[in-house]
Amino acid sequence: MKPLYVKILISLFIISLLFLNKEWLVIYGWGISMLMYLFFFLDLNRIKYFDFSRNIHGYRMFPLAMLALLSVIWAPDAQATLLHVFMLFVTVVNSFVLYYFVVRYNLFNLVVYIILGYAFVNYSLALGLPYFSFLQNHDEELSRFVGTELNPNYLAIMLLFSMFLSLLFFQERTSSSKPLQALHVVNILLALYTIFVTASRKGIMFSFLLLFFYFLVNFKRVVGSFKVILLAGAGVFLLLLFVKIDFITNSIGPAFERFGRMLSTVGGKSSEGSTEERVMFIREGWEKFTANPLIGYGAASFKYYYHLYAHNNYIELLFGLGFLGPLIYYSIHFSIFRRLWKYRTGAFLAAFVLILMLMDMGLVAYYDKRIMLMLLFIIVLADRKIAEKKAAKELPKDSGNQWEPLSFRGSYPHLS
């Protein structure tokens, strides 16, 4: 298959995941998915061999989906559980198909550009620019900014991912043009601003934690890039001069208010419905789990009993599938940790995986399409870092060739 056709198809698919999430576009999403599956089988039939074994996400999600299917037997609402199982199996299929195309056709940079384009559209909307207003969603029951998403927390998480990719750019690139460096700094700053506009507490907290980890891992590199950061910051400041200051303060004000209410609730000074409800879900979910730790109450059954999902990935899995649920799912994360630790590389990748695990304390993530995309990319990036490490160790043995770091352009021995 021609690489250009593959790039167009994968671009359309990822765009359907990130932008085109309105109800009337469901047919478009399924149409693109079916076309991608068809191209996948045709292309896979043309090559002699492809190694899927490194896609630990797909391989671990499959037994989780099978366990969820088994739980239909004891689930209180078998129809809802079956629908959830179907979503899980779609996630498994998408995981393998996306992994195949990204690795075989080296589409890492393509998806990075799509994610950065997603971020650009959303912080343009957050600044009140009208160019992409046709993509903006509005929630009449929620005053917070949702951008192109249906939920402000999902928007904040994807913007956090765009920040991670921009920070990774600085870590991987030893030399690049100053304008490109400045562009990534602008993305980090404006994405951070937009996360504040969403008033997502987890988005704000983990954005700063991500920056802290980056500074911790790359202190010398950050000091060396100070001029670029200063120039990009000045550029953002000049841009904001064209936006009314009261617009900015009104936009980020709700974020500080939500943080204040949360801290007051935790400190016992006042009560906030959202925080109290989530604490109650954790307490009730844990008590129910300890009463039935082996098999749980059926996949996606938390909503049946409490009319809402648990807002906590650990509790949702423990409640629905028993102790095996989180054990299977988080084996993905620990496998990434183990491989990176084995080769003593990828500290910043490991830090982002840790952030995803911490974020799961306030998010049901195991079947989310965005989290699938993030984990797949972490797996691909981990493979590249390990390939770099192996190549560096073999360098002294080969005096005739000069080794060049793989960075963002690495290849894989998946094909033969």
What is the tens place of the pLDDT at every residue in 352-378?
999 999 999 989 999 998 999 999 999
In this prediction, residue 155 carries a pLDDT of 92
Is residue 31 within 8 A of residue 25, CB to CB? The reply is no
Is residue 52 within 8 A of residue 96, CB to CB? The reply is yes
Name the least confident of 118-122, 151-155, 215-219: 215-219
**DSSP states along 259-292:** HHHHHHHHTTSS--HHHHHHHHHHHHHHHHHHHS
Examine the domain organization and report whether 143 and 241 are in the same domain.
Answer: yes
Q: Of 213, 246, 271, which one is at a domain's C-terminal end?
A: 271
In this prediction, residue 132 carries a pLDDT of 85
Mean pLDDT on 273-281: 80
- Identify the DSSP state of 71: G
Q: What CA–CA distance (Å, rounded) separates 302 from 344?
A: 40
Q: What CA–CA distance (Å, rounded) separates 338 from 209?
A: 22
Q: What CA–CA distance (Å, rounded) separates 130 from 106?
A: 34
Examine the domain organization and report whether 315 and 377 are in the same domain.
Answer: yes
368 domain-assigned: yes
pLDDT in tens, 317-335: 999 999 999 999 999 999 9
Of 379, 388, 380, which Cα lies nearest the Cα of 407? 388
* Most confident of the ranges 32-36, 179-183, 201-205, 384-388: 32-36
pLDDT tier, 7 (very low <50, low <70, confident <90, very high otherwise) = very high
Q: Is the pLDDT of residue 35 over 70?
A: yes
Examine the domain organization and report whether 65 and 204 are in the same domain.
Answer: no
Q: What CA–CA distance (Å, rounded) separates 174 from 164?
A: 17
Q: What CA–CA distance (Å, rounded) separates 295 from 322?
A: 5
Examine the domain organization and report whether 205 and 188 are in the same domain.
Answer: yes
- Identify the DSSP state of 400: S
Q: What's the pTM?
A: 0.84
Examine the domain organization and report whether 140 and 181 are in the same domain.
Answer: yes
Examine the domain organization and report whether 327 and 348 are in the same domain.
Answer: yes
Q: Is the pLDDT of residue 262 over 60?
A: no
Examine the domain organization and report whether 347 and 380 are in the same domain.
Answer: yes
Of 206, 195, 232, 162, which Cα lies nearest the Cα of 358? 206
In this prediction, residue 94 carries a pLDDT of 95
Examine the domain organization and report whether 251 and 326 are in the same domain.
Answer: no
Q: What CA–CA distance (Å, rounded) separates 108 from 169?
A: 12
Residue 50: strand pairing partners: 415
| Mean per-residue pLDDT over the chain, rounded | 83
12 domain-assigned: no
308 domain-assigned: yes
Examine the domain organization and report whether 145 and 258 are in the same domain.
Answer: yes
Query: How many separate domains does the chain show?
Result: 2
Domain holding 341, by residue range, is: 47-105+281-391+406-416
Residue 415: strand pairing partners: 50
18 domain-assigned: no
41 domain-assigned: no
Examine the domain organization and report whether 131 and 253 are in the same domain.
Answer: yes
Name the least confident of 74-78, 157-161, 221-225, 283-287: 221-225
Q: Of 243, 271, 299, which one is at a domain's C-terminal end?
A: 271
15 domain-assigned: no
pLDDT tier, 47 (very low <50, low <70, confident <90, very high otherwise) = confident
Of 102, 132, 101, which Cα lies nearest the Cα of 119? 132
371 domain-assigned: yes
Examine the domain organization and report whether 299 and 225 are in the same domain.
Answer: no
Q: Is the pLDDT of residue 315 over 50?
A: yes
Q: Of 253, 271, 289, which one is at a domain's C-terminal end?
A: 271
Examine the domain organization and report whether 256 and 208 are in the same domain.
Answer: yes
2 domain-assigned: no
